[in-house]
A and B are shown apart, each in its own frame.
Chain A
Amino acid sequence: MTALDSARPRMKPGRLSEVGFVSLLLLPGLALLLCVVLYPLLRSLASAFFNESLLYPGVTWAGFDNITAVLADGFGDLLWQTLIFTVGATIFPFIIGLALALALNERFRGSRMLRGAFLVPWLLPGVVVSFLWMWIFDANYGVLNGLLLQAGTIDSPIAWLFQTDTARGALIIAKTWNSFPWIMVMLLAALQSVPGELHEAAAMDGAGPIRRFFAVTWPHISGVAGLVILLEFIWNFQHFDTIFVLTGGGPAGTTSTFATEVYDTAFKGYDLGHAGALGLLWMGLLMILVVVYVRFSERGEKH
């Protein structure tokens, strides 16, 4: 089995064994992951069961108090808000990404250049994306209000990011702008595996573009499409940057999600116990998604 078994020379004295060598190779990376990912994760989750604050030293056992407190205190709203953002920020980029991938998969003059140009929103740092949309949605001088007022669609400027009925939509639009290019690229890659002959055969049998999409194209790209949707869903479920900068969870907490709520609980409320309890519930839900993802990718591998 060992790739190198056949070539392994007789061990010279003083020379590192293969096991020793591999251990040394893995050591720095594993040490970092243990110290910066695994230990903090477990400790965060454990703090759900303790009364712990950033303000004062000392830790006392809390049992399930933190978890019941968190569940009683608007947990349903938080889950609902997180899901709205996650679903919206997954579906809209997927639709746009798919439509654009199908369009740019055709060869026409400039299609290659456009593939590159459409990537720009995805390349920009998350904070820059947030700044840009904050300015577009600005209550007084934002270009969106300006254009809508001029067109007569609205009578007075709207504070898009500060009204409960528009803030979510605004966030989803900003995130959609940022993430559809990645989906487009992934789907374009999948589209290239679709054999052209099948399309020609289907076309000769008289299938129109829509029939051809569902009969020929979709079966070839559905695996990648499923993975893309799952990954986007997982990422959006923990997204922080855009929400934190654009609305900070407001107005009146209507756009707060697990990510901003855990952050605020820990760093504005200084309450590590509650933050840990929220995190424990959050991780539980996330693990379900990750398990689905692993199953999904294993199944895709077998085909």
Chain B
Amino acid sequence: MSTMLTVPSDVSDPTPTAAAVLGAGQRGQRIRRRRRPRWAIGITVALVGLFTFAPLYWLVITSLTPDADVFAFPPRLFPEEITFDHYVSVFADPAIFGFLTNSIFVSVITAVLSVIVSMYMAYAFSKFRYRGRKALMYFVLSSQMFPQALLLVTLYVVFAQFGLLNTYQALVISFTTFTLPLCVWMLKGFFDALPDDLIEAAKIDGAGHWRTLHSVILPLAAPGLVAAGLFAFVRGWNDFIFALTLAGPEKQTLPPGLVNRFIGEAATAWPALMAASLITSIPVCIAFIALQRYLVGGITAGAVKG
């Protein structure tokens, strides 16, 4: 076991923990008898709940409010009528539709590429021992600590030299690279959980390195590959600063696209922006729900095998 790398894998990689926590109820529940400060729990949940859900409510309600009522004073917490016009207009807007298709395209390619590159890397970190292994793992881990705004400055110049500015390639290459550390760490965990006997058995049966990896190991790590892919998808989908700078107007994804389309106008079209925001958020929420199930599955499977 490496010394430091197991701790950051738990810490900098929130979702397995999230899944463990959210799936915790599946474990046997013990009945504990002790005094609990119930009123304190109630007040905490109520206050944090108000702070958390009031803005979310406002996000949803604004997106359903007719334009005429948005600028009403006092603000209507409960709208007199609701409309889905803003959702229709968002999808009918060719610019936003372009951002949406760019986002989907770039994020999917990023996810596929990230999984391919990171699964090989993770396998090399998990199942082999060689000189420089730890140094390389430190390097991969630390690369996510470098400030993106700083890297971007030179990356812009480099991409310009190679004629990659305002292309999908620029986005896919940068997203994939910045997703690598997390994906490698996730997948290393999955490979670590697979017993070395599997590899030995495959070797004795005469399978070469590639065959062992592709026919024996990767199918068993499939839930991990899916999870890493979804993670990479979300990363690409959510990125703002790289898409803002490297993509140009044509290839821009939703986050910078919506900023350029809506912010800074004389009167921002808030209901439409809120509708577009909700549409932007949906794939991320779906990915998380899917991710959670795969991860809980992976964790419980690992526990059963002991």
- Quick check: A29 and B120 within 8 Å, CB to CB? yes
Complex CA–CA separation, A254 to B256 (angstroms): 23
The residue on B at minimum CB distance from A203 is: B34
Which residues on B sit within 8 Å (CB–CB) of A22? 124, 128, 130
Q: Provide the residues of chain B in CB contact with A112, threshold 8 Å.
A: 22, 24-25
CA distance A241 to B17 in the complex (A): 25
Given contacts A29-B120, A29-B140, contact A125 B280 (CB under 8 A): yes
Bound-state CA distance A147–B50 (Å) is: 14
Closest CB-CB distance, A261 to chain B, in whole Å? 9
Partner among A41, A54, A132, A245 whose Cβ is within 8 Å of the Cβ of B146: A41
* B-chain residues with CB within 8 Å of residue A120 when the two chains form the complex: 52, 56, 285
Q: How far is the CA of A234 from the CA of B259 in the complex (A)?
A: 26
Mask of B119-157 contacts with A, CB within 8 angstroms, 1/0: 011011001111000001001101101111111111111
Residue among B36, B49, B178 with max Cβ neighbours from chain A (10 Å): B36
Q: Does A136 contact B (CB under 8 A)?
A: yes
- Residues on the B chain within 8 Å of A62, using CB: none
A103-B41, A128-B281, A283-B147 known; A121-B52 Cβ under 8 A: yes
The answer to whether B48 touches A290 (Cβ under 8 A) is: no
Consensus secondary structure, chain A interface: helix
Chain A, interface size category, equals 35 or more
Contact A37 B208 (CB under 8 A): no
* Contact indicator A126/B255 (Cβ below 8 Å): yes
Q: Is A262 an interface residue (CB 8 A)?
A: yes
Chain A residue contacts of B8, Cβ below 8 A? 297
> Is B216 part of the binding interface, using a Cβ–Cβ cutoff of 8 Å?
no
Q: Contact string, B229-265, partner A, CB cutoff 8 A, digits 1/0?
A: 0000000011011000100000000111011001100
From B36, B124, B145, contact of A106 by CB (8 A): B36
Judge whether B124 and A25 touch: CB under 8 Å. yes
| Bound CA–CA A228/B14 (angstroms) | 11
A25 touches B48 (CB 8 A): no
Against B, the Cβ 8 Å flags (1 = close, 0 = not) of A169-213 are 000000001001110011011001000100110010000110000
Per-position contact with B for A44-67: 1 when CB-CB < 8 Å, else 0?
A: 100100000010000000000000
- A-side residues, CB < 8 A to B, are 1-4, 6-9, 15-16, 18-19, 21-22, 24-26, 28-30, 32-33, 35-41, 43-44, 47, 54, 96, 99-100, 102-104, 106-108, 112, 114-121, 123-128, 131-136, 138, 140-141, 143, 146-147, 149-150, 177, 180-182, 185-186, 188-189, 192, 196, 199-200, 203, 208-209, 224, 227-228, 231, 234, 238, 240-241, 244-245, 258-260, 262-263, 266-267, 272, 275-276, 279, 282-283, 286, 290, 294, 297-298, 300-301
